[in-house]
Amino acid sequence: MSQKPSILIIKGDEISTSEIESVIDPKFEAITVQTGQEGLSLFKDLHQNTKIVLMNWNLPDMPGTTLLSALKAISIVPEIIVFSQTEDSEIAITALRKGAYRFLAYPFNPSILNYLITYALENINFIAKFEDLSRKVLWENFDHTKRLALAKEIIQKRQLEGKIVTEEELLSIFPIDNIHDKGREKIKSDLDPELIQYVKESDPPLILIVEDEEMLREILERTLSLIYDVVSAGSGEEALELVRQEPDIDAALLDVGLPDISGTELITKIKEVNPEIEVVVLTAYRDLDTIADSFKNKAADFLNKPFEEDELLSVLSKAIQKKHFREILKDANNKILEEGLSVRARVGILNDIYAKRKEENKMLLMEDIYILFPELRHSEIPDDQPVSKKIIEDGIWLYIETLKNKIQDQH
């Protein structure tokens, strides 16, 4: 009989244990602590069997942002649901930006909470989580010198392949707050001069504005056209037609209050036509469900009206960087893994993946190992070959070291 999935509840000091555990379905094992420090300590020991963390944003001993980041640093696999005793949209946006799975206001609707928990357990996407982790490692752990070295390696790799790196791809390696000329020239001047010839100057990013209020749409057009190429639409259907006609759209600025289709539904439809477009959501309503659904539907970010011009440009810039970084990520993963993510952390992720596969009555595959240890592809073991139970029991770390030694002996 399989063990119940564990849910770690970090409740804070204003809610009784019985009060919060009473809404959790008995098919889950609820483990409750009061403070952030208690939660972190327990999570370090139990994270491989913990599938969901339910955490109070307002804790007596640490900020919610600190706890959320610390949990994510230990393991990327469990989904984290954040709650607060106030329906605060700013908290919701911050938590979702930091990687929370969902934000809920307390007290919970039991059926909604258990639905979210069940859905999260059934839909863990390890590939997407790994890409998010790679981006996080590059954004937070690489200094400017390492980024320059990575850019040089990628340019040289593309050169050998007979390809050219675009400016937008190159800039996406560097987490700058804007993509104006000053930032571009600083980065390019820091690169080796002989490599610049292999960087292609790209056209300005193309932004789609979707806003049914004509006056606001015109203001956005005037503001953004000083930096970007811009196309605009006043309805969802008009926006979808533009997405079909313009394959080079980098980002969409999307009002959720459209007359013909909900903004959250439009995000999904845009992604179906062109999954590479990054969507920034605009709304005058501080509705928690709209905010959460926007992020769930893969919105890059969220802006409440009214907003400052600098805030708009910064959010758009980061969305465009995220879009172009996905292309660079294919070339950068090896370097990120070598310098930013320890072997122990990678093995821990593999163990998490194995636990998920086991629950689904599936096998860990060599492809899963290759994602985290791409250098092992030289072993030439097929991607779809299952990893035996004995290998898992003996230790994945030992198996990885054995494969590395075999590859070295062959060369």
Contact 279, 299 (CB under 8 A): yes
* DSSP, res 387: P
pLDDT string in tens for the chain (411-residue length): 346 778 999 999 888 888 888 888 888 889 999 999 999 999 988 887 788 999 999 999 999 999 998 998 888 778 999 999 888 888 888 898 888 989 998 888 888 888 888 888 877 776 667 777 777 767 766 778 888 888 888 888 888 888 888 888 888 888 664 455 566 677 777 877 767 777 777 788 999 999 999 999 999 999 999 989 999 999 999 999 999 999 999 999 998 888 888 888 899 999 999 999 999 998 876 677 778 888 877 888 888 888 889 889 888 988 888 888 877 877 777 777 666 677 777 887 888 788 778 877 888 999 888 888 888 888 889 988 999 988 888 888 899 899 988 888 876
Question: Which pLDDT value is given to residue 243?
Answer: 96
Question: Which pLDDT value is given to residue 3?
Answer: 66
Question: Which pLDDT value is given to residue 1?
Answer: 38
Contact 384, 368 (CB under 8 A): no
* DSSP, res 56: E
Question: Which pLDDT value is given to residue 224?
Answer: 95
The length of the chain in residues reads: 411
* Axis-axis angle for helices 263-273, 236-245 (nearest 10): 20
Q: Nearest-5° angle of CA 218, CA 220, CA 224?
A: 125
pTM of the model: 0.71
Question: Which pLDDT value is given to residue 178?
Answer: 45
Question: Which pLDDT value is given to residue 49?
Answer: 78
Instruction: Report in angstroms the alpha-carbon separations of 394 from 183, 286, 368, 388.
Output: 50, 52, 18, 10
